[in-house]
Amino acid sequence: MLALRLVRLIETESDKIARSLVAKILCSPHTREMRKFPEPELLAGTEELLQHLSDWLLHKTSMEIEVRYRAFGARLASEDVALADCCWGIIITKEFLWDFLQKQGFLRGPIELYGEMELLCLLEQFFDHALCYCVEGYEGERKLAEPRRPSSKPYRALNLAAFVP
């Protein structure tokens, strides 16, 4: 499986990739509030994910991804990091890994293209699920932290026509 070979490359280079990725996240205007975390903590978490990326993509269950990323979202909420910063951090990570793989020169022939597409699907699925679970954990933490108060706004029907091209 070519996709596995590409993931192993990420795992092998995990320390270098993690340093570059964390620097990018901390410099991004979309993730300013991620600077509330100590850089060594961000680096350790990022490196741990990258070192075991093949496990996360191929062997971890949806429940294991849910547990990790709900906890991550709850932690961000408890540290008062904006939800948008959290979402951007995950998107930046996914895009950074994809850019890294493209720069490695693997993506040339039909077999490599198939491996690229296979890996893209795995990465997309993993990071999409991570993002959703992170948001769920974030929102859950916020609901626990805020007192319940009745909504003063009346219910308005959602105009789905606005979302259809």
List strand residue ranges (DSSP E) for 12-147, in order.
none
The residue ranges of every structural domain in the chain are: 2-143
Q: Which pTM was predicted?
A: 0.81
Q: What is the pLDDT of residues 45-101, one digit of tens each?
A: 999 999 999 899 888 889 999 999 999 999 999 999 999 999 999 999 999 998 888
CA pair distance 158, 153, nearest whole angstrom: 14
Helix (H/G/I), strand (E/B), else coil: 31: helix
Q: Of the candidates 32, 21, 139, which has an alpha carbon nearest to the alpha carbon of residue 81?
A: 32
CATH number for the domain formed by residue range(s) 2-143: 1.10.490.70
